[in-house]
């Protein structure tokens, strides 16, 4: 039984898979897809959230997380050479460790994409209302939990609507057009961030960076765990790896994506905490208070007297965050596509239209819309981090097992992810402990029996 649960794939896809996979993404487009998923709602809000946990030392939080992700990137890039037609951590773990662990990784990643897209869609709606200056009746703004911990039912109409629009764009537009739209939105977001840095730097007061580490190194670690949220999109880049024009394009895209993202987060964090103190008289500065929807960068510029620039960033964020939704909703269905090719999911998930897996996109849209429309924002964003860290840890173990990278890199990457995981909120683990058994039930009811490897080994 254990042997069959840990059966592994080889490196060679069948002829049909090769024929159906378009090779149309160069390193620029691949980099843009990775940056598109990692630079979004997070960079417009994470500086404020992390400042509340680590103070100005949130700069170190981003550096620490960026370093760990770069170690993971080494493992991913080597796996893309070993398993050139694989998709993300799922394929790499399936090849190196075994089927059951690969299923755990894949199901977790799909849920992480779903939670992430849900959180971002809610944030997008709040940015839209903030930028256009309109309000929505409380019921249609989604469910809430008041100060007395009482649940109030509601439907987030805007979040559901934007997910529907994204799903339609992906189904009708096809992957090539979607990638071009993504590239245009990435350029917009980079323009917004450069604008924030250019306008904000002259207003920086170095005195605001002290005390630099008010909560010690523990605060830095908690901030680093939260900083995983933006980097979750890095895995999305590798859901497109099999569509890369060459291994060289994949390599360039990997390191340019991680490097650019880490640099931007560190510099934006430094400027944001330099514009205003993180704490005033021992209490959190209200300019840093809020969720992904709070738009602290715009608030900071407004407080510094740059009202027009703040408005520009708010409007641009509406389009920029749409880009994150686009990539998240493209990534999850591709994992299901690869699982269906391996027999772990029904063949219907292999149905394609203009390069996009139609059924997977529809299912993804329904799940994301349900979470965004009927679940309070609360900790949704945090929920996506643990499954991704679990995937990263298993990728490091697989790379170590196959000797794809220097053992120090694989061990350091895996330990780094484990340390970050233990610094997440307890509620994250509680949700994962519920969703994981659900995934295992699906595997044993369908995947185990219909696995292509199991059928191949049957007499």
pLDDT, tens digit, for every residue of 138-174? 888 888 766 566 778 889 999 999 999 999 988 887 6
pLDDT at 203: 96
Q: How far apart are CA 381 and CA 90, in angstroms?
A: 22
* CATH architecture of the domain covering 27-454: Up-down Bundle (1.20)
Assess whether pLDDT exceeds 70 at residue 384: no
What's the rounded mean pLDDT across residues 26-40?
Answer: 79
Q: For residue 270, what are the contacts with CB-CB under 8 A and spacing of at least 6?
A: 56, 59
Assess whether pLDDT exceeds 50 at residue 15: no
What's the rounded mean pLDDT across residues 167-185?
Answer: 75
pLDDT grade, residue 33 (50/70/90)?
confident
pLDDT, tens digit, for every residue of 250-303? 889 888 988 888 899 999 999 999 999 988 887 778 777 544 334 578 778 888
pLDDT at 383: 67
pLDDT at 175: 59
Sign of CA dihedral 165, 167, 169, 171: negative
Bigger pLDDT: 231 vs 191: 191
Assess whether pLDDT exceeds 90 at residue 440: yes
pLDDT at 378: 57
Sign of CA dihedral 450, 453, 457, 459: positive
Assessment of whether the complete model's pTM goes beyond 0.95? no
Q: How many of the other CB atoms lie within 10 Å of CB of 193? A: 22
Assess whether pLDDT exceeds 80 at residue 180: no
3-state secondary structure of 156: strand
Which tokens is 247 given? 């291994």
pLDDT at 179: 67
Which tokens is 401 given? 């097992």
Bigger pLDDT: 83 vs 420: 420
Assess whether pLDDT exceeds 80 at residue 458: no
- 426 in Cβ contact with 317 (< 8 Å): no
Assess whether pLDDT exceeds 50 at residue 19: no
What's the rounded mean pLDDT across residues 116-143?
Answer: 82
- Out of 104-108, 197-201, 293-297, give the one with best mean pLDDT: 197-201
- Out of 243-247, 259-263, 327-331, 373-377, give the one with best mean pLDDT: 259-263
User: Crossing angle of helices 157-200/247-275, nearest 10°?
Assistant: 70
3-state secondary structure of 1: coil
Share of the chain above pLDDT 70, in %: 89
Sign of CA dihedral 134, 140, 145, 150: positive
Sign of CA dihedral 456, 11, 21, 357: positive
Bigger pLDDT: 385 vs 168: 168
Assess whether pLDDT exceeds 80 at residue 103: yes
pLDDT, tens digit, for every residue of 374-383? 887 655 655 6
Which tokens is 292 given? 């992904």
Q: What number of CA atoms fall less than 13 Å from residue 201's CA on the CB side?
A: 7
pLDDT at 290: 47
Sign of CA dihedral 357, 24, 115, 335: positive
Assess whether pLDDT exceeds 80 at residue 193: yes
pLDDT, tens digit, for every residue of 64-82? 999 999 999 999 999 988 8
3-state secondary structure of 13: coil
Bigger pLDDT: 217 vs 294: 217
């Amino acid at each position: 039984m254990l042997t069959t649960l840990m059966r592994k794939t080889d490196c060679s896809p069948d002829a049909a898979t090769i024929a159906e996979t378009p090779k149309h993404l160069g390193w620029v487009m691949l980099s843009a897809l990775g940056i598109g998923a990692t630079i979004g709602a997070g960079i417009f809000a994470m500086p404020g959230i992390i400042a509340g946990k680590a103070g100005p030392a949130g700069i170190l939080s981003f550096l620490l997380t960026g370093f760990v992700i770069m170690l993971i990137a080494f493992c991913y890039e080597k796996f893309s050479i070993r398993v050139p037609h694989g998709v993300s951590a799922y394929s790499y773990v399936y090849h190196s460790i075994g089927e059951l662990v690969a299923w755990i990784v894949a199901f977790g990643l799909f849920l992480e994409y779903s939670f992430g897209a849900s959180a971002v869609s809610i944030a997008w709606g709040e940015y839209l209302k903030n930028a256009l200056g309109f309000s929505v009746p409380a019921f249609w703004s989604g469910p809430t939990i008041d100060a007395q911990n009482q649940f109030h039912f509601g439907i987030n109409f805007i979040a559901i609507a934007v997910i529907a629009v994204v799903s339609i764009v992906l189904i009708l537009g096809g992957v090539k057009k979607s990638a071009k739209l993504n590239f245009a939105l990435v350029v917009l977001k980079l323009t917004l961030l450069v604008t924030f840095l250019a306008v904000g730097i002259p207003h920086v007061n170095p005195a605001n960076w002290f005390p630099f580490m008010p909560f010690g190194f523990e605060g830095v670690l908690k901030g680093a765990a939260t900083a995983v949220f933006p980097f979750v999109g890095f895995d999305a880049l590798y859901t497109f790896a099999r569509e890369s024009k060459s291994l060289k394009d994949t390599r360039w895209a990997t390191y340019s994506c991680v490097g650019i993202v880490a640099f931007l987060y560190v510099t934006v964090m430094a400027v944001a905490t330099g514009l205003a103190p993180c704490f005033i008289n021992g209490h959190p500065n209200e300019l840093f208070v809020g969720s992904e929807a709070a738009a602290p960068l715009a608030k900071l510029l407004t407080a510094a007297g740059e009202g027009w620039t703040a408005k520009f960033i708010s409007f641009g964020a509406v389009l920029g965050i749409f880009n994150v939704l686009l990539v998240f909703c493209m990534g999850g269905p591709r994992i299901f596509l690869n699982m269906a090719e391996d027999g772990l999911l029904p063949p219907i998930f292999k149905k394609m239209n203009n390069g996009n897996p139609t059924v997977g996109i529809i299912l993804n849209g329904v799940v994301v819309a349900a979470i965004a429309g009927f679940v309070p924002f609360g900790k949704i964003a945090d929920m996506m981090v643990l499954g991704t860290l679990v995937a990263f840890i298993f990728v490091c173990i697989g790379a170590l097992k196959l000797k794809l990278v220097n053992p120090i890199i694989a061990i350091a990457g895996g330990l780094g992810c484990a340390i970050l995981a233990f610094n997440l909120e307890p509620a994250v683990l509680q949700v994962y402990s519920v969703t994981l058994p659900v995934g295992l039930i699906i595997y044993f009811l369908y995947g185990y029996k219909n696995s292509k490897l199991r059928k191949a080994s049957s007499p």
